[in-house]
Amino acid sequence: MIWILILLLGCSLTETTLGWTYHHSPGTMSWYSARDYCRKSYTDMVVIQNQEENDYLVSMLPNRNKAPYYWIGITKKHLNETWTWIGNNSTWIGEHSWAANEPNNNHSTEFCVEIYVNRGPNRGKWNDEKCANRKFAVCYKAQCNETICGRGRCQETIKNITCLCDPGYKGDMCQTEEESANGDEVTNYHTTSQATSSSTAGFSTPPHYLTTSSETQPESGYKQALFAVAGCGALSALSCICFCWMKRRRRKKLAQVRQSEEVTSPFSEGQG
């Protein structure tokens, strides 16, 4: 039974956690400093693609009853420009994203956006603000990279990662080459569900989307699995060595105690 527990422990320690995590800054800063903080510490400032993501983000952030709230990664440079999300140039704005009477560009230079996390009617709504004002940063850390999806593109959603395979490839990590019967291009979509993982800030896997291209070979999926098995085996072997060493040390100590008792016993003194 003990070996089963050791094996399960080893495998759990070597498991790779996939999925985004949210993080927020401990202090307030300007919008540009907030983005710089996110890019240095994590991946970037948070990006929202739909209402589901917006609601999920608000549920993850600590409630605040008053300003300052949290910067999010949507901005513009000039008055007549369209609001644009950083990183992917998305212009998504939901029907009810803005708080009442917002964006009002009250000072003619309110080109950055905060999200309210209070308990009032504006909870989860946006407000345009001067970028120089100080607020908390909300960042994300992505798990998609060039090695996850072999011959395909990695897309992160809520609690899972999806590999969008290149034509002619299939599998959970697009690692298997596939031949089309009629020679047409075939694109396979495979979703791998992942358990929610807590971040250092106490948040869970976020619901963003991230797409990255990959030029790695399809064997990368097998390599990751091999590394996981090797790590599991190494930890199990180390646990076995430690267990055997402790058992041997205990036997040696018992033998020394018995030898000491035989030397000091009355029968031994009588013989002397």
Domains of the chain by start residue, with CATH: 18-141 (3.10.100.10), 152-223 (no CATH)
Count Cβ atoms below 10 Å from residue 233 Cβ, excluding itself: 14
Q: How confident is the model at residue 268 (pLDDT cuts 50, 70, 90)?
A: very low
- DSSP annotation of 147 reads T
Q: How confident is the model at residue 91 (pLDDT cuts 50, 70, 90)?
A: very high
What average pLDDT does this structure show over 152-163?
79
* pTM higher than 0.85: no
Whether the predicted pLDDT of 204 surpasses 50: no
What average pLDDT does this structure show over 132-155?
89
pLDDT of residue 2: 47
Interacting residues of 26 by C-beta distance below 8 A, sequence separation 6+: none
Q: Long-range contacts for 76-85 (Cβ within 8 Å, ≥24 apart)?
A: 76/111, 77/111, 78/111, 79/105, 79/108, 83/113, 85/47, 85/48, 85/49
- Poorest-confidence range of 29-38, 92-101, 250-259? 250-259
Instruction: Give the Å distances, CA to CA, from 242 to 9, 11, 12, 234.
Output: 15, 18, 19, 12
Interacting residues of 85 by C-beta distance below 8 A, sequence separation 6+: 47, 48, 49, 73, 74, 91, 92
Residue 23: closest CA among 8, 39, 7, 10:
39
Q: Is 230 helix (H, G, I), strand (E, B) or coil?
A: helix
pLDDT of residue 162: 85
Q: How confident is the model at residue 51 (pLDDT cuts 50, 70, 90)?
A: very high
Instruction: Tell me how far the alpha carbon of residue 149 is from its chain's centroid.
Output: 16
